[in-house]
Amino acid sequence: MRRFRRTLVAAALATAMVGGTAGWASGNIQRAVTGPPVGSAAWRADDSLGRALPDPASATPGQVARFFATLTPSRSQQLVRRHPLVVGNLDGAPVALRYEANSRAIRAEHDPRYERLAKPGRQILAFDPRGRGQVAEVYGDLATARHVSVVVPGSDIDAATFDRTKDPYGTPAGMAGALRAATGGRTAVIAWAGYTTPVGFGLDVATGDLAEAGAGRLARFTQGLTAAGVGQPVLFCHSYGAVVCGLAASEVNATDIVVLGAPGMRAGHRADLHTDARVWAAKNPSDWISRVPHVEIAGLGHGQDPAAPSFGARRVPADLAEGHTGYFVPGTDSLRAFAAIAQGRITRSDIAQGRITRSDIAQDDITRDDITRGEVR
């Protein structure tokens, strides 16, 4: 009987995940891009500096940062010219060098998918042409910003759809741009499409395989920011991106993890994430994600709803957001709350103006330490 019930729940989940589509066939099974960057073998074999270069597969971001700190500018430029795809994706390498390396790598691809990314002025912090293409772009100045955020998107995002004009607030570029604008340009925001996302509503979106692969890449990316002298970011994780952030939570360097429109985080409770970061959740009443069963059985589903009171996350108001991709739309209560979280402060004014309501924050969420650090005034 128990096995029968498990089968029924799994079937219900599968039906919900593909509802309104042609079934599993509507989502193609994706193979996750993992491992060191393209060109790593040539990098390892390069002895032009008279010493070994840090192995992209095994060197920590801290070791990478210390290596580049020993190089003269001319030696660093030499590596950028010889190995742009490695330097551009080497977590811990100086940010400015990664911008330059990725600009070179994108131009060298001669691929129409990447023409927009090659335009002058774009700050591409990561670029991987394998598979459907992965990219991370910085909005603002990482060197001077006091606060940094990273947007982690969900399904159907890759190098070609990263900054599409259709449904812009459902793209990492649109979300990042809206968040930075909502802070008055006082923050830097990274749109991180650095993992292989599911396509459509197929089996991939109901399982955690792609999220597990993405979690490792996200953790290393945030560790690389810290190693390169960038402060701990706030993570904003949309839809399937919340699954990635849940699996990465114990390893990412982040002050806060904010999930929105989440199918789950592969955890039953906030404590199960094993993170010191504050965890926030937003879900608007019109979001179709509410129809997805919040279970995890036989590898299907992603567990408890992070927006449910029993999960223990701090609630973010989202009554003015509409649909699954409306959380970053200008003028919404969710975006105003995100901007406050991104700047490391939630003020009494925010509460008074309805950006964060007292009923949305559990009593034990506001501590004396929060007041001391200036997060609540």
Beta-carbon contacts of 358 under 8 Å, excluding residues fewer than 6 positions away, are 351
- Tell me the whole-structure pTM to 2 decimals: 0.87
Confidence of residue 42 (pLDDT cuts 50, 70, 90): very high
Please tell me the distance from the alpha carbon of residue 226 to that of residue 224, in angstroms, as a whole number: 5
CA neighbours closer than 13 Å in the CB half-sphere of residue 368: 0
* DSSP run (H or E) holding 273: none
Please tell me the distance from the alpha carbon of residue 351 to that of residue 359, in angstroms, as a whole number: 10
Cβ–Cβ under 8 Å, residues 340 and 356 = yes
User: Residues of 259-284 as b/e, b for ≥16 C-beta within 10 angstroms?
Assistant: bbbbbbbbbbebebbebebbbbbbbb
Residues of the chain with CATH 3.40.50.1820: 2-22+130-372
Tokens 């992209």 map to which residue?
Answer: 56
What are the beta bridge partners of residue 267?
Answer: 303
Q: In what order do the strands lie in the sheet with 278-282?
A: 123-128, 134-139, 188-193, 148-152, 234-238, 256-260, 278-282, 314-315
**pLDDT, tens only, 332-370:** 999 999 999 999 976 545 444 444 544 434 333 333 334
pLDDT of residue 137: 98
Beta strands in 153-250 (DSSP E): 188-193, 234-238
> Residue 83 phi/psi, 5° resolution?
-140, 60
**pLDDT, tens only, 215-261:** 999 999 999 999 999 999 999 999 999 999 999 999 999 999 999 99
Looking at domain 2-22+130-372, its CATH superfamily turns out to be: Alpha/Beta hydrolase fold, catalytic domain (3.40.50.1820)
Cβ–Cβ under 8 Å, residues 92 and 60 = yes
- DSSP structure class, residue 356: S
Confidence of residue 294 (pLDDT cuts 50, 70, 90): confident
* DSSP run (H or E) holding 279: strand 278-282
**pLDDT, tens only, 175-224:** 999 999 999 999 999 999 999 999 998 889 999 999 999 999 999 999 99
> Residue 271 phi/psi, 5° resolution?
-65, -25
CA distances from residue 26 to 23, 132, 151, 167 in whole angstroms, order as listed: 6, 17, 26, 20
Please tell me the distance from the alpha carbon of residue 338 to that of residue 183, in angstroms, as a whole number: 9
pLDDT of residue 347: 52
Query: Apex CA 312: angle with CA 310 and CA 315, to 5°?
Result: 105
Mean pLDDT, residues 62-72 taken together: 98
Other C-beta atoms within 10 Å of 319: how many?
Answer: 13
If we measure between CA atoms, which residue out of 244, 240, 219, 236 comes closest to residue 318?
A: 236
Mean pLDDT of the chain: 88
CA dihedral 169, 338, 183, 123 (to 10 degrees): -50
Token pair for residue 248? Answer: 């990465």
